[in-house]
Amino acid sequence: MARVETLVAVAPETSRLDPTPALARRTHVLIVDDDTAWRDFMDLILRNAGYITARAVDGVEALDMAEQFGPFDLLVTDEMMPRMEGHVLAEEMRRREPCLKVLYLTGYGNHLLKVKGALWEDEVLLDKPSSVADFLEAVGLLLDGRTPPVPS
């Protein structure tokens, strides 16, 4: 089973006031991974769950996409990528979009925690590889403070 680490297990205040799940609000997710198979896999899962997605191959492309198509509600990123590590991308995007939630889906969780020290509020670390159920659970907890149903 994949390990999920988070500092915040409760949804942000706005989610508690709005009973409508994020899916019904048409949540926008930016997926960033240099591995095409993982990027496509996460995209398929999220689209089938009702999210609106965009994909980028690295942090530089992701920042360009955020500039053109943002704001995004959630950033799903790998940590080790060419041109920009995931935590650097997340820091830059959160400077521009302070309410952005971040899901690190990576096989380099130890590196991430070493360079960051700890996860920030509204950030989750999920080890790669991850099951579909664990991935959707992490997304749901970040966005709504609850686990969405797994699409059949």
66-88: per-residue pLDDT in tens? Answer: 999 889 999 999 999 999 999 99
| Residue 129: predicted pLDDT | 87
Q: Is residue 101 part of a domain?
A: yes
Answer yes or no: are the C-beta atoms of 71 and 97 closer than 8 Å.
Answer: yes
Q: Is residue 17 part of a domain?
A: no
Q: Is residue 104 part of a domain?
A: yes
Give the CATH number, domain containing residue 100: 3.40.50.2300
> pLDDT tier at 118 (50, 70, 90 boundaries)?
confident
Distance CA 126, CA 3 (A): 6
Number of domain units in the chain: 1
| Residue 17: predicted pLDDT | 38
Structural domain containing residue 43: 4-11+22-144
Q: Is residue 74 part of a domain?
A: yes
Distance CA 32, CA 92 (A): 14
Q: Is the pLDDT of residue 100 over 60?
A: yes
Q: Is the pLDDT of residue 6 over 60?
A: no
Q: Is residue 16 part of a domain?
A: no
**49 CB contacts (<8 Å, ≥6 apart)?**
23, 136, 139, 148, 151
Q: Is residue 27 part of a domain?
A: yes
